[in-house]
Amino acid sequence: MSKPPLGLCHETLLELKSYRPKQTTKIKLDANESPFDLGAGIKSQILGSLSNVDFHRYPDPQALELRERLADTFGGSFEEYVVGCGSDEIIALLMLTLGRTRSGLSQAAVMYPTPTFVMYRHSAQAHGLLPIEVPLLDDWSVEPDGFVSAIRRHRPNLIFLASPNNPTGRKFSEAELDAILSATDEDMLVVIDEAYGAFAERKHIYRESARIGWMGTLSKVGLAAIRVGWIRLNRNLANEVDKARQPFNLNSLSQKVASLALGICRDELMSQITSVVEERGRMTHELSSLGFSVFPSEANFLLVRCGIGTGVDLDARTIEASLRKEFGIGVRVFNESRLQKDLRITVGTSTENDQLLSALQSIL
């Protein structure tokens, strides 16, 4: 049998594994989705308006209605927004657009503090860029001097800061952001990934800067199924990113639902966010009472530590496996060495959270 031309694949791609989340469980607390579907009333209103979509036509390649809605909701002009099939696609588009190798370097670099969202590394490697990882301190804050000297040494094209961060749940302070921003040159882009911004007590102060991209998504606030993400950028840079985008990257149904979501669904989504935040507070308390060390979180999940040195004897992998096999509850464990003792638990509905707590009680 003849062999496929694997030698032509990017070397960095061959080192990667496809992103394959674990099989689904009855109670899904492993993917940071919203536990709430849209209410029946709003859902049927949305489905009703989808009947106006021309199924035989390509989508609006400019996604104008949606970009205007985004500008109404988050500020600026629609020309500053690029939309994608989830913020995953936006991350990939940034790698494509801003991937030029600087003179004196052998590869364009992408920098981010770790632990963080795995797609920054994955996407950088898939696009032949060099990931540069700077460890966070033990309280998950940035060590400003170390980060600043890493910027000077590696001169990254792109810096990703998820804030609140996944999986730590911590939001970077304005001072941390300013320290990083002041170390960047004009030819670097800092992407502030606010995927979990809706759950934070306060959003980051908006900074009018051509060196910053503000990234967002509807995936965490109840609309993961439609895959809509965006970035707000300086309009000249947005224009370049737009050239790298496939013209019909966002289908008509997603464009329509997202536009409606930012309008008629807003109150409902806001009240769902409020109940996730309330449950996050309750779960912090309850999980701490069970002996877990719970990191403070401004996101829709909690990072909890167990095993030696905590009030829980069992290790994270044993707990994860028991929850999954005996109770049909999925939570997340990690391969990274610094997260070996940690579980990431997405905040569910109050019923799901109660089921998790009683499962944990019986496991422990």
Binding site for ligand PMP (CB under 6 A): 32, 86-88, 117, 162, 166, 193, 195, 217, 219, 229
Q: Which is nearer to ligand PMP, 86 or 330 (CB)?
A: 86
| Residue appearing with tokens 């779960």 | 283
Nearest to 85 by CA among 119, 110, 51: 119
CB closer to ligand PMP, 46 vs 231: 231
Q: CA-to-CA distance for 308 and 314, rounded, in angstroms?
A: 8
CB of 361 to ligand PMP, least distance (A): 29
**Closest CB 47 distance from ligand PMP, rounded Å:** 22
Q: How far is CA 331 from the centre of its chain?
A: 17
Nearest-approach distance from CB 105 to ligand PMP, in angstroms: 26
Least Cβ distance, residue 160 to ligand PMP (angstroms): 9
Q: Which is nearer to ligand PMP, 347 or 360 (CB)?
A: 347
Neighbours of 364 (CB within 10 A): 15
Residue 153 — left, alpha, or beta (φ > 0 → left; ψ -120 to 50 → alpha)?
alpha
C-beta nearest to ligand PMP: residue: 86
Per DSSP bridges, beta strands 228-232 and 293-294 are: unpaired
φ and ψ at 293, to 5 degrees? -90, 115
**Residue placing its CB nearer to ligand PMP in the complex, 89 or 242:** 89
Quote the least distance from Cβ 48 to ligand PMP, whole Å.
26
Query: Among 347, 364, 200, which residue's Cα sits nearest to residue 292?
Result: 364
Looking up tokens 């809706």 gives 198
CB nearer to ligand PMP: give 91 or 312.
91
